[in-house]
Structure 1
Amino acid sequence: MKVWISLFAALMLTACGQQPESESTTSTDAPPTASETAGEVDRLVVYSSRQPHLIEPLFQRYTAETGIEIDFTNDNEASLIERLAAEGENTPADVLVTVDAGNLWHAADRGLLRSIDSPALEASIPAALQDDRNRWFALSLRARTMVYHPERVAIDELSTYEDLADPRWQGRLCLRTSRKVYNQSLVAMLIEHHGEQRAEEIVAGWVANLATNPFSSDTQLIEAIAAGQCDVGIVNSYYLGRLQADNPDYPVQLFWANQGTTGVHVNVSGAGVTLHAPHPEQAQALIEWLASEAAQAEFAERNLEFPANPAVEARGLVRAWGEFRQDETPLTVAGQRQAQAVRLMDRVGYR
C-alpha cells in the first residue's frame, strides 16, 4: 500500500510540474509548508467539538483535494480534553478542533497540544488569535456582542458591555448562564481591561438588571427578546444569524459593542496538533489548509462566523452585518483569567 501511495504521489507531483521529494532540487523559494512536506499518510483522526454538519463538508473537501481521509470523533470540548489526557501516548487523535480560546488554552495548559513551527499559519492568522507558544491557531472568529429589539430600544441607547450595568436597564437585560465558557471569556476580558474590582461591579450590575433567570442557550435569549420578555442581551452573533437565515424579518437586531473603547469581544474556534499525534506533519498540514484563503471563506460562511484569516472577506448574511472594530487583546488572556472570572461571577450571584 505504501509503495502504491508513493508512486501515486510521485506521478501527481510530476503532473503538476514538481519533482518528487526524493528528487529535490536546489531552490531559492521560501521554505515549504507542512502540506508540501507531509509525506505518506492516507488517514488522519480529528477530535472535534464542532457540530458535524458544520465541519464535515470541509473535511470532505480536504479529502477530495489530497486523498487523505479524515476520521473525526465529535463530543463536547470537556470530554474530548479529558479523553486526550486519559489516552496519553496511545491517542489516535492527530488534531483537536474546538471552540473558545478558554478551551484551547486549557488543552494547551494541560500539555495536550504540541508547539508547531508553521510560517504558513503565522502568515495567515494574526498574533492575537493564536497561542503565544504556537500550540493552537484560530480558524474562525465569533463576535459576542449585543442584540436588541428595535421597537423597545433606540440604537443611541446602546454603547458598551459596561453600560448594561447602568440602572436604566433594570428589568430589561437577558443573559446566558455563567456556566457557558463564552461568558467566562467575556468576563475574563473585562478583568483584563478594568481590573477585578471594576469588573465585579459591572457583572453585579448585569445581575441586578436581569429581567429573568439566565438562559441555557443564546437562541433562547434571542427568542425571549423577540417575545418581549427583555429588551437587550449579549450573544454570539451567529445565533442571531441562524434565526435571520430562516426569517429575514426576525424582530431582533445586532449592535456592535464598545466601538469607541476596547472593541467587540471576539472569540474563536481553533485547532492544534495533539502532543502525541501519530502523524504530526500531516496534522499540521490540515490546520494550515483550514487557515488558508482557499478554505477560510467556506469555513466561516457555513458557521455564520467571520474568517480568522484577515485576507478573506466575510460573505452573505455575516457580511451584511457590516464591519466592526474588534478587541485585539491576545485571546490567551481568556484562558489565563478564566478561573478568576468564574469566581467573580459566583461572588455576585451570576448563575
Structure 2
Amino acid sequence: MTRTLAALLGTAIAASTLTAAQAQELNLYSSRHYDTDERLYSDFTELTGITINRIEGNADELIARMQAEGANSPADVFLTVDTVRLARATDMGLLQPINSDVLETRIPAYLQDDGNHWFAFSQRARIIFYDREDVANPPLTYQDLANPEYAGQVCIRSSTNVYTQNITAALIAHLGEAAVQDWAAAVVGNFARAPQGGDTDQLRGIASGECDIAMSNTYYFSRILREGDDQITPEQLANIGWVFPNQNDLGAHMNVSGGGVAAHAPNLENAILFLEYLASDQAQQYFSAGNDEYPAVPGVGLSPSVAALGIFRPDVIDLSDIAANVETAVQVLNAAGWE
C-alpha cells in the first residue's frame, strides 16, 4: 500500500512509514463540512489501511476542544477552511512543525506557514459579482468597491466573517492600514443592506435585485453553475457577471482550506502521511471536481464548473502575512462601522 501511495504522490515514501506495530488509525478534527470529502477519506483508507476517526464541528469549537484536552488530546490533524483559524491554532500552540519533503515540494511556498505548522491544500478566489443589466461599469479592483458610483449597490458579509477579515488583512498587507481604513468606511457607505448571510446569499441578493454588486468565493458560484439553486432561476444566473479583481496589480485574493498536525498527535506518522495524501494529484483533482475549489498544487486540472470562470492572476501574497494582519483588520472593520 505504501508503494501505491508513493506512486500516487509522485515521490518516494519510506517503506517504514507504515509498520505492523503502528496503530492503523488517524484522529481528524475537521471543520470542513462537505459531503464530497467522504471520497478523500475513503480513498486514503483504501490506499493505506489507516482508519480515519472524525470529529467534525465549528473551527472555533474544535480549537477550544484541543486547547481543553491539552497534552491528552487524541487529535492528529486539524483541518479547516481559512487562514485565520489556522494561524490562531498555531499561535495557541496547538499545531507542531511538519517535516515533509513531499509537502515542501508540492505546495507552493506562499501557501505554507512560515514555520511549517500548516499547509494549504485547496483555494477559492474571492471575487466580485455583479448584475449585468444594471451595472455598466463593474468594479475592476477591490478598491473600486469604495467608489461613490456604487452607493447603495453592494451586498457583502459581516465583519465577523473570516472571509471578510482575510480580504481586509490582505489589503492591509498590500496597501497599509490607513488606506484600508478609508476604504472600509467608504464600502460601508455603499452597502445596499446591512451585512447578512453567507456567500450564496450575496449571489441571491443580485438575483433578487436587492443589490447589484457582491463579493463571494468562486466555489459557491461554480456550485450553482453545476447544481443550480432553488432561489436563482437560470435566467437570473445568466445575468450575473463576474470580475477577477486587481488583474493589473495585486491579483485576485485567495481563501484557502488547509491543515496541520496537532501538537500532541498520538499517530504522528499517519498524520503526516494524510497531509501528504491531500497534496497528491488524486486528492487535488477531487478538491476541484468534488467541491469546485482550485487545487493548491500547480498543474492539476480543473473541473469544468471551475474552469468555466476563466483564467486569472491570483494574489500570491504569503499567507503568513495575511495572518499577521488579521487582528488589525478586525479593528479596521469595527472602526468603519462594518457590522
TM-score under structure 2 length normalisation = 0.92
1:320 and 2:320 correspond: no
1:342 and 2:330 correspond: yes
Pairwise CA distance, 1:183: 0.6
Give the unaligned 5+ runs of structure 2.
Answer: 229-233
Matching residue of 2:69: 87
Matching residue of 1:276: 264
Summarize the alignment of residues 86-125 of structure 1 with structure 2, pairs less than 5 Å apart: 86-125=68-107
1:138 to 97, 105, 120: 120
Matching residue of 2:195: 214
Q: Distance in 2 between matches of 1:36 and 1:127?
A: 27
Where 2:122 maps in the other structure, the secondary structure is strand
1:293 and 2:284 correspond: no
Where 2:96 maps in the other structure, the secondary structure is coil
Q: Distance in 2 between matches of 1:208 and 1:108?
A: 36
Amino acid paired to 1:202: W
Where 2:129 maps in the other structure, the secondary structure is strand
Where 2:210 maps in the other structure, the secondary structure is coil
Q: Distance in 2 between matches of 1:34 and 1:74?
A: 31
1:161 and 2:173 correspond: no
Q: Distance in 2 between matches of 1:73 and 1:302?
A: 21
CA-based RMSD of the aligned residues comes to 1.9
Matching residue of 2:39: 57
Where 1:147 maps in the other structure, the secondary structure is strand
Matching residue of 2:252: 264
Amino acid paired to 1:219: T
Superposed CA offset, 1:35-88 (max 9, x none)? 862433321110000014132221011111111111111101100111111111
Q: Say if 2:223 and 2:291, in contact at 8 Å, map to a contact too.
A: no
Where 2:298 maps in the other structure, the secondary structure is coil
Pairwise CA distance, 1:303: 1.4
Q: Distance in 2 between matches of 1:227 and 1:35?
A: 57
Where 1:146 maps in the other structure, the secondary structure is strand
Matching residue of 1:329: 317
1:203 and 2:184 correspond: yes
Matching residue of 1:33: 13
Q: Distance in 1 between matches of 2:135 and 2:101?
A: 47
**209 and 35 in structure 1: CA distance in 2 versus 1, 3 angstrom threshold:** farther
Pairwise CA distance, 1:151: 1.2
1:239 and 2:220 correspond: yes
Q: Say if 1:103 and 1:335, in contact at 8 Å, map to a contact too.
A: no
Where 1:157 maps in the other structure, the secondary structure is coil
Pairwise CA distance, 1:31: 8.9
TM-score under structure 1 length normalisation = 0.89
Pairwise CA distance, 1:32: 4.4
Superposed CA offset, 1:128-187 (max 9, x none)? 101011110011001111111111123x53310101101000011111111101110100
Where 2:181 maps in the other structure, the secondary structure is helix
Pairwise CA distance, 1:314: 1.4
Amino acid paired to 1:116: I
Q: Distance in 1 between matches of 2:251 and 2:65?
A: 36
Superposed CA offset, 1:277-308 (max 9, x none)? 00111100000011111211012321111000
Q: Distance in 1 between matches of 2:15 and 2:257?
A: 21
Amino acid paired to 1:258: N
Matching residue of 2:49: 67
Q: Distance in 2 between matches of 1:31 and 1:306?
A: 22
Which of these two proteins has the greater Rg computed from alpha carbons? 1
**243 and 294 in structure 1: CA distance in 2 versus 1, 3 angstrom threshold:** closer
Give the unaligned 5+ runs of structure 1.
Answer: 1-8, 19-29
Amino acid paired to 1:136: W
Q: Distance in 2 between matches of 1:68 and 1:319?
A: 33
Q: Distance in 1 between matches of 2:88 and 2:146?
A: 29
Matching residue of 2:231: none
Q: Say if 1:35 and 1:286, in contact at 8 Å, map to a contact too.
A: no
Matching residue of 1:175: 156
Q: Distance in 2 between matches of 1:55 and 1:246?
A: 17
Among all aligned residue pairs of Structure 1 and Structure 2, give the percentage whose two residues are the same amino acid: 40
Matching residue of 1:306: 294
Q: Distance in 1 between matches of 2:195 and 2:14?
A: 45
Q: Say if 1:33 and 1:118, in contact at 8 Å, map to a contact too.
A: no
Amino acid paired to 2:203: I
Where 2:95 maps in the other structure, the secondary structure is coil
